[in-house]
Structure 1
Amino acid sequence: MKSNELLLDAFGRIREIVEATLNGIDDDTLIRRPSGNGNSIAWLIWHLSRGEDAQVASAAGLAEVWTSQGFAGRFGLPLPERDTGYGHSSDEVDAVRAPGDLLLEYYDAVHRQTVDVLNNLGDDDLDRVVDTRWDPPVTFGVRLVSIVADCLQHAGQAAYARGLKGGVHA
């Protein structure tokens, strides 16, 4: 198996969890915050999508799907356009509201861009330094693994939140 094939599989698993979590979900479940102050499913899916979008685009030298494909305007969130959710306050988490179909459409567009990047990725590309703010500097390979880990955590949190009492709809 080639490195990019392994990464394609990992990112594909994120996509499967996102789709299963959003399938048939109602708006009340999307914005419900576990224990009243946990992150909502809408916020979690939006945040993981923004994180993957911003980080893959930056590392690959591409425009973010969020802005280049008009999702920032379609979501119309009362947040700065470049916001990814990192460090959000409780009020900012509450501000992230969107229907499940729009959340999935955005994640799918992000996923397509990630797949395009990965399809053209060679093993030598994984050693390219993409962030010198860290010691040691971050390579493209390390960044991709970090994105997978973060997105899988948030996708799992969203799936768990959906499964809480009142979250499953047949």
Structure 2
Amino acid sequence: MQSRDLLRYAYDQIAETFRGTVEGLGADDLARQVAPDANPIGWLAWHLLRVQDDHVADVAGTEQVWTADGWAGRFGLPVDDAATGYGMSSAEVAAVRVPSADLLLGYAEAVSARTAEFLSGLSDDDLDRVVDTRWDPPVTLGVRLVSVLSDDLQHLGQAAYLRGLLGA
């Protein structure tokens, strides 16, 4: 198995788990918070997709599907199109009200397809390419892709836990 195949499998698992986490939820379920400063399911789901879209587009040298395919307009959120959720205040998080699970699922499919397309073209040598020199040591493509996977899995786990906790 080549590294790209393993990464593709891992990212496919994100897409599959994502579907089971948000499918069937209404807008109110997506926005419910268990405490005033808690992240709701909708925000967690939107955020993990935005980070994946942002980071994969960056390393691929492409525009994010969020803007390229008009998802930002369809969601109509009160945030800048470049926002990924990173560093948002509690008030900003609460303002991100995702309109529907179907919209999230559509965006998730688009992000997953773009990610799969990018991963399919990688070689093992590509994973050693430095993609971010702001860190010490500099971040390689392989490290960035695993970092996004880790972030996605953590947020999916949080969202799935919240779904169970809320009985949604």
TM-score (norm 1): 0.95
3-state SS in 2 of match to 1:36:
coil
1:150 counterpart residue number:
151
How many percent identity over aligned positions? 56
Structure 2 matches for 1:20-169, cutoff 5 A?
Answer: 20-98=20-98, 99-167=100-168
Q: What is the CA-CA distance between 1:109 and the residue it aligns to?
A: 0.4
Residues 113, 34 of structure 1: alpha-carbon distance in 2 compared, 3 angstrom cutoff? same
Letter of the 1:94 counterpart: A
- Counterpart contact for 1:17–1:156, Cα < 8 Å: no
Equivalent-residue separation in structure 2 for 1:130 and 1:143 (angstroms): 8
Q: What is the CA-CA distance between 1:36 and the residue it aligns to?
A: 3.3
Q: What is the CA-CA distance between 1:148 and the residue it aligns to?
A: 0.2
Equivalent-residue separation in structure 2 for 1:96 and 1:18 (angstroms): 18
Q: What is the CA-CA distance between 1:165 and the residue it aligns to?
A: 3.5
* Count of residues in Structure 1 that have an aligned counterpart in Structure 2: 167
3-state SS in 2 of match to 1:164:
helix
Gaps of 5+ in 1: none
Q: Which runs of structure 1 show a deviation greater than 3 angstroms over 4 or more consecutive aligned residues?
A: none
Q: What is the CA-CA distance between 1:166 and the residue it aligns to?
A: 2.7
- Counterpart contact for 1:33–1:39, Cα < 8 Å: yes
3-state SS in 2 of match to 1:130:
strand
Equivalent-residue separation in structure 2 for 1:122 and 1:166 (angstroms): 44
Q: What is the CA-CA distance between 1:25 and the residue it aligns to?
A: 1.4
Q: What is the CA-CA distance between 1:97 and the residue it aligns to?
A: 1.3
User: Can you list the C-alpha shifts for 1:1-56, whole angstroms capped at 9, x where unaligned?
Assistant: 11011101111111111100112112221111122321111100100000000001
- Counterpart contact for 2:71–2:107, Cα < 8 Å: yes
Equivalent-residue separation in structure 2 for 1:109 and 1:156 (angstroms): 21
Equivalent-residue separation in structure 2 for 1:165 and 1:25 (angstroms): 11
Gaps of 5+ in 2: none
TM-score (norm 2): 0.96
Equivalent-residue separation in structure 1 for 2:15 and 2:90 (angstroms): 26
Q: Which moved further from structure 2: 116-125 or 18-27? A: 18-27
